[in-house]
Amino acid sequence: MANNFLATANRVAAHLGKAPKDFTKEDIIRVVQDFDIRMVNLMYPGGDGRLKTLNFMLNSADYLNTCGERVDGSSLFSSIEAASSDLYVMPVFRTAFIDPFQEIPTLCLLCDYFDRDGQPLASAPEHTLRKAMQAFHKVTGMEFQAMGELEYYVIKANDPSFPATDQKGYHETAPFAKANDFRTRCMKLIAECGGRIKYGHSEVGNFTASAMSRTRSSFSPCQQMSAPTSCSWPSGSSATSAIRRATTSHSRRRSSSARPAAACTST
């Protein structure tokens, strides 16, 4: 690997020796085997903005040979009727990470939504973003990239030694900054989950009377990756096995595209 530092935080990337955008189905299977993964979580946002999770216990090797899963769209999005609620969630390989919070060795993958006809779900957040990016590029000729900031207050017991100063604290260092240790632990865990953090620092806005310290972590710019434009549901086959055949030609063109992962099964 040309740049080993790129993969040091994310345990999956470090183990495979490659950037997440280059993860393949075979890589996911290798991680499951090498880390003795016992559970796979498929994760995707619902219409309420909350992250949803589907857990799979890996009971046999067959679990690694099927891809994607059907979900009830009417329970996830208020705009979808129960009579036509079949949706399919397809894991995106580049999002794979080992969950640092689980006692059971667990691999997590974020998912894209597809409808019953094999098309990206029009109302899904990731598809809405892709359409906005395409419209932006068409009008401006520029590429859309995004970067975020995680900013929050930490409340802890007052420490009379080296007191912080009200409404100060920008880039402050311990012992005057009171939440640096907590922020660095958070940064480590976020990075292990695939977050591309640029830096973190204490921020202006201390409230010493309430023992509140303000802190921030900023993320590196990233480009929204493209996904398969459609999936083909072969006649007479199950939904899960059909997902496995998703847009082969697109996957060949972009190894970084969103493709169905291997570590999941039908129910």
3-state helix, strand, coil split of the chain in percent (to 5) is 30, 25, 45
Q: Greatest CA span in the chain, whole angstroms?
A: 72
Instruction: Compute the distance between CA of residue 173 and CA of residue 162 in angstroms, rounded to an integer.
Output: 11
pTM of the predicted model as reported, rounded to 2 decimal places: 0.76
The helix/strand/coil state of 86 is: strand
Residue 10 CB-density burial (10 A; 0-12 exposed, 13-18 middle, 19+ buried): buried
Instruction: Compute the distance between CA of residue 89 and CA of residue 112 in angstroms, rounded to an integer.
Output: 6
70 with 86: CB under 8 angstroms?
A: yes
Instruction: Compute the distance between CA of residue 57 and CA of residue 51 in angstroms, rounded to an integer.
Output: 20
Strand pairing of 97-98 and 86-91? unpaired
216 with 201: CB under 8 angstroms?
A: yes
What integer pLDDT is reported at residue 8 of this predicted model? 61
Instruction: Compute the distance between CA of residue 117 and CA of residue 204 in angstroms, rounded to an integer.
Output: 51
pLDDT tens across 129-150, in order?
888 999 999 999 999 888 888 8
For the chain, which ranges sit under pLDDT 50? Answer: 1-3, 5, 7, 232-267
Report which secondary-structure segment, H or E, holds 154: strand 149-155
CA nearest to 126, candidates 14, 3, 225: 225
CA angle 55, 59, 61 (to 5 degrees): 110
Contacts of 142 (CB under 8 A, 6+ apart): 136
Structure tokens at 63: 């679990």
CA nearest to 116, candidates 80, 85, 137: 85
